[in-house]
Structure 1
Amino acid sequence: MGTGLRERKKVATRQALHEAALALSIEHGLDRVTVEAIADAADVSRRTFSNYFASKEEALLYGDQQRVHALVDAVRARPPAEPPWEALTAAALEIQQDLGARDPNWVNQVRLVRRHPALAAYQVSTYAAMENELTATVMARSAEPPIRARLMAAALLVAMRVAVQEWLDRERGTPLATVMHETFTEMATTFR
């Protein structure tokens, strides 16, 4: 069953606010961007902005939430008999392939997070919330004890963050999948 018009409009508005926050932050710097400017750029009211996001940081990092939700869905779609760590890493690599080559806006967002501690803190809290979803997904597909499932979920998110940072520091042309695979291999020694 398809999504209704009202829901599609909500999704489009949320995406427009995210894109406006990102574009304005790249162009003017995060400190010079206001919620009002983001709302204006997305052609909505300040009140509408507040219906979707609590802050400009949340709007800016909305893409991270989308990627982690896609990751959770991809893990759920993996074969049930696949060991948890393999399912997590295979799903992460699958999501990364869907991203394709370096998206300049995404790369700029990652660099903004590096430069602004407030964004980094917000990203960590976003990932912590998503860690709960990943933990529940691991537990639903395996008999892993809760602490091991949580460690796997947290380790995957950390490994992904480290891989992206390492990838950005490497020579241009190195595929992100290569760096992610290296990072997951290193992390996997803990879960074997």
Structure 2
Amino acid sequence: MTSDLGLRERKKLATRIALSDAAWSLMTEHGIDAVTAEAVAAAADVSPRTFRNYFASREEAILDGILLRANRLVEALRTRPADEPVWDSLAHVLPDMIMSVLGERECDVATLVRVCSENPAMLAQQLAVFGRVERLIAEVIAERTGADIERDLAPHLLAAVPGATMRAVLNFWAGGVTDATLPDLVRTSIAQLRDGLPLGRAAPVA
């Protein structure tokens, strides 16, 4: 019975991934208007009803793959040495994860940034995805530091760093004002945040 349940769950996960991958491909190749329940279902070789059983909207389907891959980031943080400062753990994990979480091709990432800026529903779903990931990261940080996830603010503040960093880096990079890679921009961002962002300090009195 346990093995049957495991197989069933694996099949459901495979279908979910196939649907999300199809939705992502349709968006990056043909635009978000091409992402319909019928088109995604056809690309994944399932029925439109199956699509609607898994996802409430096209935006959820498009970004679900990001949420699944972001779970690897959470697990990567969990496996870092217990005595390693959290900032060091973030600096180690985030740069190498940004492309695998958001898509291997930079043009796909640029498309996502553009679509989210033009489509309020996509932006809302993106924020919801980052919010769910932040909660998971806060739980890992609380475990590592001995904080109470329900009563202490610090884990939540620090967990907001990855999401805020990703959003700021993506918008800056997509603006075309830098030749730096996304991972390098993440490394720079983490270093600046860890050092206390000198630009946020008051100017010395003359």
TM class by shorter chain equals: 0.7 to 0.9
Alignment identity in percent?
A: 37
Q: Which has the larger radius of gyration?
A: 2
Confirm or deny: 8 A CA contact 2:41 2:51 kept in the other structure: yes
1:79 aligns with: 81
Confirm or deny: 8 A CA contact 2:67 2:129 kept in the other structure: yes
CA shift, 1:35, in A, is 1.5
1:109 aligns with: 112
Confirm or deny: 8 A CA contact 2:73 2:94 kept in the other structure: yes
Confirm or deny: 8 A CA contact 2:69 2:100 kept in the other structure: no
Gaps of 5+ in 1: none
CA shift, 1:163, in A, is 1.3
2:184 aligns with: 178
Distance verdict in 2 for CA 1:9–1:173, change over 3 Å: farther
Confirm or deny: 8 A CA contact 1:74 1:95 kept in the other structure: no
Q: Please give the secondary structure, in 2, of the residue aligned with 1:81.
A: coil
Q: Summarize the alignment of residues 2-21 of structure 1 with structure 2, pairs less than 5 Å apart.
A: 4-21=6-23
Q: Does 1:95 align with 2:108?
A: no
Q: Summarize the alignment of residues 39-188 of structure 1 with structure 2, pairs less than 5 Å apart.
A: 39-96=41-98, 102-144=105-147, 146-170=152-176, 174-188=180-194
Q: Does 1:22 align with 2:24?
A: yes
Q: Structure 1: how far apart are the matches of 2:56 and 2:100?
A: 29
Query: What TM-score comes out, normalization by structure 1 length?
Result: 0.84
Distance verdict in 2 for CA 1:37–1:102, change over 3 Å: closer
The alignment's C-alpha RMSD in Å is: 2.7
Confirm or deny: 8 A CA contact 2:96 2:183 kept in the other structure: no
Q: Please give the secondary structure, in 2, of the residue aligned with 1:161.
A: helix
Confirm or deny: 8 A CA contact 2:28 2:111 kept in the other structure: yes
2:202 aligns with: none
Distance verdict in 2 for CA 1:190–1:68, change over 3 Å: farther
CA shift, 1:80, in A, is 0.3
Q: Structure 2: how far apart are the matches of 1:120 and 1:54?
A: 16
Q: Please give the secondary structure, in 2, of the residue aligned with 1:79.
A: coil
Gaps of 5+ in 2: 198-206
Q: Structure 2: how far apart are the matches of 1:172 and 1:158?
A: 19
Query: What TM-score comes out, normalization by structure 2 length?
Result: 0.79
Structure 1 runs, 4 residues or longer, greater than 6 Å off? none
- 1:7-57 C-alpha deviation (Å, 9 max, x unpaired): 333232112211221222234432353212211221111221123222110
